[in-house]
Chain A
Amino acid sequence: MIRDRYPKADILAQRGHWDDATREVVLDRVQNVPRFRFFLSHEQATLVALCDRVIPQAHRRADRRVPLAPWIDQSCAQDKLEGFRFDNMPSLADAWRQGLAGLDQTARALHGADFCELDGGRQDGVLRAVRDGSPPGEVWQTLPAKRWWTYIALRQIAGVYYAHPYAWDEIGFGGPAYPRGYFALNHGAPEPWEPREAGGER
């Protein structure tokens, strides 16, 4: 049961204190959610279902949910520079395509249905099988499951989520800090404008 630990948090309300370049980047992320261009519709469904299991958002108000799948789609469509690739992994776009197909293969092997058709609990079971390293499915014979799970699925989906102001609100992060920096540096204290933790700071 996910509690709201920073109920008063609203980082976007502080955007007047940010510099122009930062504000532009963050607002663009919040306001301009890209359309799907890379994944086919079934792949999209699988990806959305995966994102919902990795970062559950059902407990949040509908207007406070962070779109995740479209950004993954965009990074594949743009052939984003990755910085490095493990020698036993394919390119980013291929890794996603293959991984999503692998989820379906594992889901069918374990429960006889595609991944997006399963209920949440069974979906989690599929994901745990991937995490453990030897899930059933042909794709996983060549695509290293553990590595895919950590570096492709989890890191990238969490990377999209925790780049968003609503996620920052959830964890009580102070957000962008320029030109207004921080002056309350002791006792982990919040700045006067920062959200306080529900139930007291200590």
Chain B
Amino acid sequence: MRLHVHLSSDWILDTEMREYRPSEAVDFCIVGTGAGGGVLAQRLARYGFSVVALEAGQWHDSERDMVSDEAGSARLYWNDLRITGGADPLELGANNSGKGVGGSTVHYAAFCPRFHPSDFRVKTLDGVAADWPIAYEEIEPYYAQMEREYPVSGPARYPWGKPHGYPYAPLEAGTAGQMLIKGCERLGIPVVAGGPVAIPAGRYGKRPHCIMRGFCLLGCKVGAKSSIHVSHIPDAIAHGAEIRTGSMAFEVPTDEAGRASGVRYFRTLANGRVLEQFQRAKAVIVAGYAIETPRLLLNSKSGPFPDGLGNSSGMVGKHLMAQAGPVVWGRFAEPIRQYKAPPACACSEAFYETDPRNDFVRGYALQTVAPLPIAMAHLLIDETGCFGEELIEKMQDYNHYAAIGVLGEILPDPRNRVTIHPSAKDQFGLPVPYVQFNLFENDKRMMAAGIARARAVLSAAGATETHFVPRYAHLVGTCRMGFTPQDSVVDRWCRSWDVPNLLICDGSVLVTQGSSNPALTISALAARTADWLRRAVPAGELTTRPRVETPVPAAEPASAVPTNGTAPTPTEARR
């Protein structure tokens, strides 16, 4: 099929995309084309596997479909019905859920920090949450790959976690970002300007450099921001992968041997008709982000899997984590005009790690945010429920606000979970997810401290008054990785313990979330899993279920690290 999609103001993806017949078993059927699924499609296609990636949404053509308009951008988000509850219910939709080729990386702000080494050992270090079955060193080379491939801009030396540099120079900060920098400077808080953000400073292949329009969260029309549909999907297609849009996966059936046989999905055609189809596959990778992935598995019940596919542990859907993301804003006497320049431009991880002086463990990061008008109105409304003249006048101060987002590590708890709602159905007649979320003691104390710190930073920068409202960001954890089939859903390679040829490779597998935006980590895990699959599939490892291994030492054997010569890099964009 002929694709003709604007990926940047300077790049039309005009190419023949290979199509597979649903009845022919492809090597991999991937559900989702976001930070995880998109990278997997690219890597596996490059390794010579036949790949079909199912995407419920459509392409977002940067010229036709993206607009510089908040209210006109609804098509970017997962707006299908979901029910949200719990003591501290999460907002979904535009807040954290993308729909379309590229997934949530189309509308993310593009902050791309790495996890810290401590994030993988929170149980050992702080006695809470759980340890990952892998160490930082195992994912480290893949972080470096993703930072080169997205690419990511940042300082020559990023001082937190394991210090490292960035391949692209820091991005310029606007006035709003300068308030975070100024406030941190005055309080002696180490802060990094210009990153780490996946918006290259300077042209990158056929992607022009950023024009500072500040509409990052509505999709980058310039193509400067590194969304997966720009950074990896074109290369996937060039190597034979099929990106099948309008394909809403609803079940992963298994055969008599207990192996996944493919993916059943609803295909919405151009004329609006909806067909039910079944893509056969030798292996299935679910990468639909932390709500749709468990939903798909829980809806895939069968004899051997009465509680949902791959759910012998009962963990599918549990340990949902969102990061605390309260927005703290200050009013300044001088103009700020926060809507200019990318919202993601400065960051401090000085309070990321556990500090024994705190009354909580783990911590938070301070990041720049820059709400557009409707988002700002929502903040003001949520704070006091104000209306009338009060609301109008507060909004007239719009150009005088600068906002900081506190990104805080909420700990995993099995009571925070995704289940299937007993009655509500979506437009396909499928049972919808029921997302339940609650803050617990450590979370509340951590949030309070982060908010207080952000208020102090803004005041130090010159704000005459500061305000805040609770918010949450990102979604991870619902199919966690672990050491044994009893306490986790997938093993260290993202393979289901229960089904030999089923993998889950997206935000769902994260054991803890740190105070880092998850996109880069999700992509790095995907690259790592793809690397393993490259060796494991020919070796027949997907024919048997994973074995429980004794805990591996921290350092991964060198053979797993891809050499420069074979490291797959998307080259389409660079030409």
Are B335 and A202 touching (Cβ within 8 A)? yes
* Residue from A55, A83, A155, A171 in contact with B373 in the complex, judged by beta carbons closer than 8 Å: A171
Report B371-395 CB contacts with A as 1/0, cut-off 8 Å: 0111011100110010111011101
> Is A88 an interface position by the 8 A CB rule?
yes
In the complex, the chain B residue whose C-beta lies closest to that of A71 is B71
Contact string, B64-85, partner A, CB cutoff 8 A, digits 1/0?
1111111110100111111111
Please, which residue of chain B has its CB at the minimum distance from the CB of A164?
A: B71
Q: Which residues of A, 149-202, contact B by the 8 Å Cβ criterion?
A: 149-150, 154-155, 158-163, 167-168, 170-190, 197, 201-202
The number of residues on chain B lying at the interface, defined by a beta carbon within 8 Å of a beta carbon of chain A, is: 74
- The verdict on A173 contacting B398 (CB below 8 Å), with A2-B393, A25-B67, A150-B382 known, is yes
The reply to whether the CB of A33 lies closer than 8 angstroms to some CB of chain B is no
Contact status of A85 and B82, CB under 8 A, knowing A159-B71, A182-B213: yes
* Inter-chain contact B399/A54, CB cutoff 8 Å: no
A188→B334 contact, CB < 8 A: yes
The answer, among A87, A180, A187, A201, for a CB contact under 8 Å with B89, is A87
Contact of B69 among A26, A81, A186, A189 (CB under 8 A): A26
Contacting pair A185 B341 (CB below 8 A): yes
A103-156 residues at the B interface, CB under 8 angstroms: 124, 127, 131, 146, 149-150, 154-155
Judge whether B392 and A202 touch: CB under 8 Å: no
B85 and A87 form a contact (CB under 8 A):
yes
Q: Is A37 an interface residue (CB 8 A)?
A: no
Give the nearest-CB partner of A200 in chain B: B335
In the bound complex, what is the Cα–Cα distance between A22 and B65 (angstroms)?
A: 9
B399 touches A188 (CB 8 A): yes
B572 at the interface (CB under 8 A from A): no
A56 touching B72 in the complex, CB below 8 Å, given contacts A171-B373, A185-B340: no
Is A29 an interface residue when CB atoms closer than 8 A count as contact? Answer: yes
* Residues of chain A at interface, number, CB under 8 A: 64
Type the 1/0 row for B479-505, where 1 means its CB is closer than 8 Å to any CB of A.
000000000000000000000000000
Q: Measured between alpha carbons, how far is A9 from B394 in the docked complex, in Å?
A: 18
Complex Cα gap A162–B84 (Å): 26
- Which of B81, B427, B435 lies at the interface centre, i.e. has the most chain A CB atoms within 10 A of its CB? B81
Q: In the docked arrangement, what's the CA distance between A177 and B89, Å?
A: 34
Known contacts A21-B64, A171-B396, A202-B333; decide if A84 and B82 are in contact (CB<8 Å).
Answer: yes
User: Which residues of the other chain, B, contact A188 by a CB distance below 8 angstroms?
Assistant: 175, 332, 334-337, 399-400
Contact B79 A21 (CB under 8 A): no
A197: B residues at CB distance < 8 A:
335, 399
Binds A, one of B37-45, B214-222, B452-460: B214-222
**B350 contacts chain A at the CB level, 8 A cutoff:** no
Q: Does A38 contact B (CB under 8 A)?
A: no
Decide if B68 touches A2 in the complex (CB within 8 Å). no
Find chain A residues with CB under 8 A from B388 CB.
53-56, 124
**Would B334 and A187 count as touching, CB distance under 8 A?**
yes
Would A181 and B85 count as touching, CB distance under 8 A? no
B13 in the interface (beta carbon within 8 A): no
B residues sitting closer than 8 Å to A (CB atoms) are 9, 63-72, 74, 77-85, 89-94, 97, 172-175, 178, 210-215, 221-222, 332-337, 339-341, 372-374, 376-378, 381-382, 385, 387-389, 391-393, 395-396, 398-400, 424, 427, 434-435
Beyond A86-B83, A174-B337, A184-B340, 10 extra complex contacts between A and B, CB < 8 Å: A19-B68, A25-B72, A54-B387, A81-B80, A82-B81, A86-B85, A131-B385, A178-B215, A185-B175, A189-B337
Listed A/B pairs (30) with beta-carbon separation below 8 Å: A20-B63, A21-B65, A22-B72, A25-B67, A25-B69, A25-B72, A29-B71, A54-B387, A55-B392, A56-B392, A84-B82, A85-B84, A86-B83, A87-B84, A155-B381, A159-B378, A162-B374, A174-B340, A177-B213, A177-B214, A179-B221, A182-B174, A182-B211, A185-B212, A187-B335, A188-B332, A188-B334, A188-B336, A197-B335, A201-B334
